[in-house]
Amino acid sequence: MEARELRNAFGRFATGVTVVTCITEEGDPHGATVNAFTAVSLEPALAQVTLGRSSRACQFLAGKPFAINVLASDQLDVAWHFAGRPADRTPTWVDGPTAPLLEGSATSISCRPWRTYDGGDHVIVLGEVEQVEVTDREPLLFHGGQFRYLNPDHDAAPGIHWGGSVDCPTSGWFDPDSFRPMAASAHH
């Protein structure tokens, strides 16, 4: 199977965007953008992230605590920063119970190491959830190789535009001032 075909198939599954954070051997905070995050179990409370075997974060996670920061919709620059395109403004770190957290995340999940498994060219890391912080902030999404928003006021993340197409779901399909739905039929 072609890698691109498989990647495209996997990309049809919409995910949230997370940054997995941990501490380096030097004691510095480190993060990596990851969209392979899964809730695993409520009892015990377990969460999973999957990281590329060659990523620096993968090296720092071996048997170490970490945090999963579910990014908020206004944290696109944070996603890119930890994906290898540093932002002009460095994201703000805050202390967390197991590992450093990113300020402004929609949710943070602080974990202690549980198990690590071979995942081919990736490593599957399970963490036992020690503490969560949940906000009412909208999450940043990823689908079809593009960042997206849950909020219906956005078409897509910046840089991804419908280009004035009549297919734009928020401005092109129907004129809200003149569109009237068909009356319910008496014949069901």
CB 137 within 8 A of CB 106: yes
Instruction: Mark the ranges of the chain whose per-residue pLDDT is less than 50.
Output: 159-188
Domain ranges of the chain: 3-149
pLDDT in the model for residue 186:
44
* CATH architecture classification, 3-149: Roll (2.30)
Which pLDDT tens digit goes with each residue over 78-92? Answer: 999 998 888 788 899
Look at residue 7 and give its three-state secondary structure: helix
pLDDT in tens, 121-159: 889 999 999 999 999 999 998 878 888 887 666 555 554
3-state DSSP call for residue 3?
Answer: helix
pLDDT (0 to 100) of residue 153: 64
pLDDT of residue 62: 84
What pTM did the predictor assign?
Answer: 0.77
| Angle CA 66–71–72, to nearest 5 | 150
